[in-house]
Structure 1
């Protein structure tokens, strides 16, 4: 197989039924800023949003989504946080905002899920120091001390087949990628 260049996924664009409401939600409740705005060649208004000064946009919101669609094609928008403490801070904020939050221990990640005003599922997550085969969906209580959460996750992962540390999984995956490109 010919070698393909490495890619880095950086952003998602979604159509919105109420663009102004969605921009305000992602600004005030998720913490993005509007980095640019304009009108696309299709005539749709759009807003570029980011939380990273080195990435022009991590999210693009377009107007023009029809209302009353029978199915939402967006499975989830996932946002990686820097630490378990950051996830806990977002969790507390989500409760203040009145969001219905689902907390999940995936073994390799701690996650919380809620929806935006148009019903798009949002995942806020942080990687754990462990790997376990997916899917894995165990209870999580983000109100507990971080040490308790870490110990519970490690014990759960060690009980499941194929336990690895995150570093071991990264090394194995790096080797798979190397072999794929060779």
Structure 2
């Protein structure tokens, strides 16, 4: 069976985007060529490919298309630490408790939708039923 190989994102500024993905999400640059950068969590050549487009390129719309790319973190402490890094950069974050996960929704510097989450199915012992409640990320570690 196939598995997801990588996410390819178009960005307005390659340097800002590389800094964001390495400093906030902890990816490492494995290769870089002009307008392209390939970043990895370590197991593959790249998990995220970034392609620089024009600085005034049209951003994501409300129509059909990719809503967000999601990255799972290991535990609530990692989610809380990521929230602190995002807040430190002035990134607007929407924390959402889905019952089966706790998630942070935010945009990268080019407006690409991202989610980071911790799976809480073992703690919740439930199926997702459309739950979308706000939560305080600092409280996720308690």
TM-score (norm 1): 0.66
User: Could you say what secondary structure the match of 2:137 adopts?
Assistant: coil
Equivalent runs, 1:31-110 vs 2, <5 Å: 31-38=26-33, 45-52=35-42, 54-64=43-53, 67-69=57-59, 71=61, 73-110=65-102
The runs of 5 or more residues in structure 2 that have no matched partner are: none
- Give the stretch that moved more between structures: 105-114 or 62-71: 62-71
The runs of 5 or more residues in structure 1 that have no matched partner are: 1-5, 40-44, 148-182
Larger RCO, structures 1/2 (Cα 8 Å, 6+ apart): 2
Runs of 4+ in 1 over 4 A off after TM superposition: none
Cα deviation for residue 79 of structure 1 reads 0.7
Aligned alpha-carbon RMSD (Å): 2.1
TM-score (norm 2): 0.82
d(CA) in 2 for partners of 1:126, 1:58: 18
Correspondence for 1:16: 11
Correspondence for 2:139: 144
- Give the stretch that moved more between structures: 26-35 or 63-72: 63-72
d(CA) in 1 for partners of 2:87, 2:6: 26
Judging by fraction of residues, say which structure has more helix.
1
